[in-house]
Amino acid sequence: MATDVHGPVSPAATPVAQAVHVEGLTRAFDGRAVVDDLHLDLAPGEFVALLGRSGCGKSTLLRVLAGLDRDIDGTVMVPRRRGVAFQAPRLMPWKRVWRNVLLGLPGKPERALAEQALEEVGLGHRVNAWPKTLSGGEAQRVSLARALVREPDLLLLDEPFGALDALTRINAQRLVGELWQRRGCAVLLVTHDVEEAVLLADRVLVMDGGRIAHEQRVELDRPRELTDPRFAAIRADLLGRLGVTPAAQAA
C-alpha cells in the first residue's frame, strides 16, 4: 500500500502495517489546539466510527487524514489511495453525474470507470443525469461513487448520512456496510449517530478534549440487530460517555 506521510517521520513511525498511523497530531486554530497530541491507528480493512460532541474536532481530524489540511504538528501516515465523502455531496451542477464521479482523477479516466462505480452504489441508471435532478440520497451515493472510483485503501466519511431522511439513511447505511465488506478497505466514519456507529463499526472511538478519550470494540456478528441486548448495552454506554443521561435515553 503506497503511503503518504504528512509531518516529520519519527523513528517510531516506520511504515507499520496500518491503514492509518497518527502520532502526536496537533492542529491549532488561533493558538487553540482543536486536535491535541492525538494518537490513532486503523488496521487495513478495519471499520472505525468516530463520535464526539459538536465542535470536538472530528471533522478537523478527518480533513487532516484526507490531506486537505497540512498545517499540523505530529506525524500522519495514510494510504495514497483515499476516498472522501462529506455530509454535503459537493457535486458540480454543470457536470453530468458520471463526470462528477471522475472529478479530480488524474489523466483521462474512462467513462466506464464511473459507470462501474455508479453501478456499485445502485445508480447505474443515472449515469447521464444532471445533479439537480437527483434526490438527496442519490446525490450522496454519487459522492460515494466518486470516493470508490479511486479504489481506496481508506475511505473517509464525514457524516455522509447526516442530511438524509430516516428511511434513506437506513438504506445508505446498509449500502456502506455492503461496500465495505466487498471492497475490504479501511473506513473512518464520523457520525453523530451512536446507533449508526454500533451498527457498522468494528471499533467506536469517542473524541473529547482533542484526543481519543474512549475506545469501544464491537464484537457482535453482522448484520447487527438493534434489538440485541448487547447492542443496547454498548449503545447506552456510549451515549452515557457523550453526556446523554439514562433519563434522556429513555425519552
Residue whose CB is less far from ligand ATP, 89 or 131: 89
**Burial (Cβ within 10 Å: 0-12, 13-18, ≥19) of residue 125:** exposed
Of 52 and 160, which has the nearer Cβ to ligand ATP? 52
Closest CB 53 distance from ligand ATP, rounded Å: 7
One of 40, 48, 51, 60 touching ligand ATP (CB under 6 A)? 60
Binding residues for ligand ATP restricted to 24-53, rule: CB under 6 A: 29, 34, 52
What gap in Å lies between CA 73 and CA 140, rounded to an integer? 32
Q: Does residue 56 bind ligand ATP (CB under 6 A)?
A: yes
Would you say 196 and 235 are in contact if contact means Cβ atoms under 8 Å apart? no
Tell which one of 11, 31, 55, 107 touches ligand ATP (CB under 6 A): 55
Question: Cβ atoms within 10 A of the Cβ of 94, count?
Answer: 10
152: cell is: 481506496
Other Cβ atoms closer than 10 A to 95:
14
Q: Residue from 6, 21, 46, 58 that binds ligand ATP (CB under 6 A)?
A: 58
- CA distance linking residue 202 with residue 181, whole number of Å: 12
Minimal distance in Å, beta carbon 59 to ligand ATP?
Answer: 3
Which residues pair with residue 194 across a beta bridge? none
> Which residues are near ligand ATP by CB under 6 A?
29, 34, 52, 54-60
